[in-house]
Structure 1
Amino acid sequence: MNSNKMKQSTVLLVDDKPENLDVLLAYLHDAQLRMLVAQSGEEAIHITERFLPDLILLDVLMPPGIDGFETCRRLKASEKTAEIPIIFITALSDVNDKITGFQVGGVDYITKPLRHEEVLARVHTHLLLRRQRQQLEIENASKNKFFSIIAHDLRGPLHSIYELTKTNRELLERQDYEQVKKLLDLEYAATENLTKLLENLLTWARIQQGTIEFKPQMLNLGHLCRYAIDVLKPAALQKEITLTSDFSGDVFVVVDMNMLETVVRNLVSNAIKFTPIGGKITISMTQAKEMATVAVTDTGIGIDAAFLPQLFEIGAKFHRLGTAHEKGTGLGLILCKEFVERHGGSIQVDSAVNCGSTFSFTLPLPNDMAEAMNNNEYAGLIGGGDGR
């Protein structure tokens, strides 16, 4: 049995007899579980509501208070605790008792005397099922948000293109070519933004499916950052923004070049977008212990603290125009987070309204890269994209 599978799960043991609790604690001692204990149904309900364990092992006969069946009924009647699986552990072996256990909401029924391997096997199985169900709920929520974006965010650009095209037909009939040219420019911008949105949506979907090849190689992080500066300098100059770097020396990391270029390009592009004319953007790089950190700091309009948690969530409705009315797709930072975390790093933001923003991300240095990749369960497949 692989006890690592149960690591970090919490199990509540409920029995009125201390000697029975001791047996269960001994059985599960090496399973790397967080253990909670209760000696009555009332105490079990209180602990469950407070700590929300992943699994409950529940005795039936616990005089003088409520029995295990009633305890289960009450837990299942509460929205907060209804989804927590409950295994009955009891000396009651009659078929009718077992039927009652399942009718009140139990997922399993173990009769005493207990057998060590059986208890471990059933606990492991139900913890695994609970994790799989939770993961499925997360994936379904992401898919729902994905389709919500498609339904909401695609409708606006498509409608704009439709109306612009319709108006242009009328203008062509009147031979108002000057106005046609202006509307064609607007139509082009709308089409360009729609294309970026579609590309990012498809990229995000491919990331979730794990269908894009991952090609790590040893790279100089400083060179990669300087390349991003060179590529985006013309865009910065158009807004008279000073774009500089603040690092010296070489820092080497093992990364997928295209993905990391996308991350840096996204963060710098966003900084340009939300920094007014005459502002300043600095890319800095530091190295400490086992991690390298890249930060993009701007003197832009900043972000209200209330909106910061939404920046990296698919489907969050925090969208705004840049200081020169530039549009974004709303997905670039989400993809950045995916890329960085798949490399074993993390991404953060520090911002305040009218005080600028600093977006930073960390990457493991080569000695820790193999472990970081293993912890993220690399299968050699992940994905990419850009645009905020």
Structure 2
Amino acid sequence: MDYTPKILIVDDNIENLKVVGNILQSEKFDIAVSLNGESAINILLNNEIDLILMDIMMPEIDGLETCRRIKCIDSLKEIPLIFLTAKAQTNDILEAFEAGGVDYIFKPFNRLELLARVNTHLDLFLSKRKLKELYKNRDFVYSIIAHDIKSPFNKITQFLQMLNEGYLDKDSSDYEALLDLLNTETQKTNGLIDELIEWGQLLTNENHNQLQSKHLKPIIDSVITFLEHQSFSKALEIQNNIDEKAKIICDEKSIEVIFRNLLANAIKFTPDGGKITFSNEENTQKVFIQLKDSGIGMTKEVLEKIFENNEFYKTNGTNKEKGFGLGLLIIKDFVKKNNAELKVDSISEEGTTFTVIIDKSI
């Protein structure tokens, strides 16, 4: 499903709101409306808006002053604002630009002109936002390459050098242990590279999502099989209690990546001998897929960091397993790809439950 831009229309004249709203809704935009500046700012602070159309002449706080206030709020100042005005004097237009507007549309409205200006500024804004996200993600990937990939590769090089120079007897236990370490580091690094490639394909739209109806249980079976080596090494019990009839609308590959990362996280933070369970519930429209572990859980502070504030966070598992910190970022991107939601409940020292809420298929 393509992204639908959200537009806020601000005008104290209800007839004007109807005219502009009808034009934009006919083009399938999401519309929010406000009759005054104070209400408009409140809507902007509590919703994700991509473009503002604002009348200049309004009681109490006019459009120009409302625009100035918006541009003083860091989280809102980048949103493009187009003024709706009946004032065509040069000084009025200059004042509108000085206040922070990016364009203006004269009343009475011309449908084609309105849509042309709206689409132009939406394209510019959304492209700019996408570019910022790509730069941010690029820098994040560079930091992973610099540290989390370079570090194990250095270890691998050292191990190979030790083997090549004959420091260890091939029949010794130390030699076998070194081979095991070499194999472990190679697998971990290869896994991280695979995740980076999958994530990069999503970010560059090379791997377009194919939302189709799929049975859920076989997907979870595949995920469990993929990670069975890690679960066996900690003697964990993993149960797939998904209803065999459960079907979801999803992109199968990215859904597997979501649950592979969630399960890897559960394995990492569940002590030896613990239990991990997949289950599901559903209503008429949604399927609620739960992954519950008996692990060490997370504190409220950690949950706020990684789920509410989107801070980069990584830590070691119960057996000192190294974490790359990339999994959650991939999960969030792929959840969005599937028009799904991700929720988490966790109690420190008791365990964590991840819930993926996704569209149901009949």
Q: When the two structures are superposed, what TM-score results if normalisation uses the length of structure 1?
A: 0.70
> Partner of 1:294: helix, strand, or coil?
strand
1:34 aligned partner? 32
For the aligned residue pairs, the C-alpha RMSD in angstroms reads: 4.1
- The whole-number CA distance in structure 1 between the counterparts of 2:265 and 2:86 is 64
1:24 aligned partner? 16
> Partner of 1:35: helix, strand, or coil?
strand
Deviation at 1:355, TM superposition (A): 0.5
1:117 aligned partner? 111
Please list, as runs of the form range in 1=range in 2, the aligned pairs for 1:228-267 lying within 5 A after superposition: 228-229=223-224, 232-233=227-228, 235-247=230-242, 249-253=244-248, 255=250, 257-267=252-262
The answer as to 2:47 corresponding to 1:55 is: no
> Partner of 1:281: helix, strand, or coil?
strand
Q: When the two structures are superposed, what TM-score results if normalisation uses the length of structure 2?
A: 0.74
Q: Identity rate of aligned residues, in percent?
A: 30
Corresponding letter in the other structure for 1:9 = I
Deviation at 1:298, TM superposition (A): 1.6
Deviates more, 1:211-220 or 1:144-153: 211-220
The answer on whether the counterparts of 1:313 and 1:334 sit within 8 Å (CA) in structure 2 is no
Largest Rg, 1 or 2: 1
CA deviation profile, 1:89-129 (whole Å, cap 9, x unmatched): 55554445544543554322445x63443673345544554
- The whole-number CA distance in structure 1 between the counterparts of 2:195 and 2:309 is 11
Corresponding letter in the other structure for 1:137 = K
Please list, as runs of the form range in 1=range in 2, the aligned pairs for 1:344-359 lying within 5 A after superposition: 344-359=339-354
- The whole-number CA distance in structure 1 between the counterparts of 2:99 and 2:340 is 45
- The whole-number CA distance in structure 1 between the counterparts of 2:144 and 2:291 is 28
> Partner of 1:28: helix, strand, or coil?
helix
Structure 2 unaligned runs (5+)? 26-30
The answer on whether the counterparts of 1:312 and 1:333 sit within 8 Å (CA) in structure 2 is no
- The whole-number CA distance in structure 2 between the counterparts of 1:72 and 1:247 is 52
The answer on whether the counterparts of 1:193 and 1:328 sit within 8 Å (CA) in structure 2 is no
The answer on whether the counterparts of 1:216 and 1:256 sit within 8 Å (CA) in structure 2 is yes
- The whole-number CA distance in structure 1 between the counterparts of 2:65 and 2:209 is 53
The answer on whether the counterparts of 1:293 and 1:361 sit within 8 Å (CA) in structure 2 is yes
2:28 aligned partner? none
Deviation at 1:352, TM superposition (A): 1.7
1:41 aligned partner? none
1:12 aligned partner? 10
- The whole-number CA distance in structure 2 between the counterparts of 1:218 and 1:264 is 17
The answer on whether the counterparts of 1:206 and 1:212 sit within 8 Å (CA) in structure 2 is yes
Query: Which of residues 191, 198, 209 is equivalent to 2:193?
Result: 198
The answer on whether the counterparts of 2:211 and 2:338 sit within 8 Å (CA) in structure 1 is no
- The whole-number CA distance in structure 2 between the counterparts of 1:164 and 1:73 is 62
Deviation at 1:206, TM superposition (A): 0.7
Query: Which of residues 207, 212, 215 is equivalent to 1:212?
Result: 207
Deviation at 1:37, TM superposition (A): 2.9
> Partner of 2:35: helix, strand, or coil?
strand
The answer on whether the counterparts of 1:240 and 1:278 sit within 8 Å (CA) in structure 2 is yes
CA deviation profile, 1:227-266 (whole Å, cap 9, x unmatched): 5445655543432322334355533445555544444444
Deviates more, 1:226-235 or 1:153-162: 226-235
Deviation at 1:218, TM superposition (A): 5.5
2:271 aligned partner? 276
Deviation at 1:202, TM superposition (A): 1.4
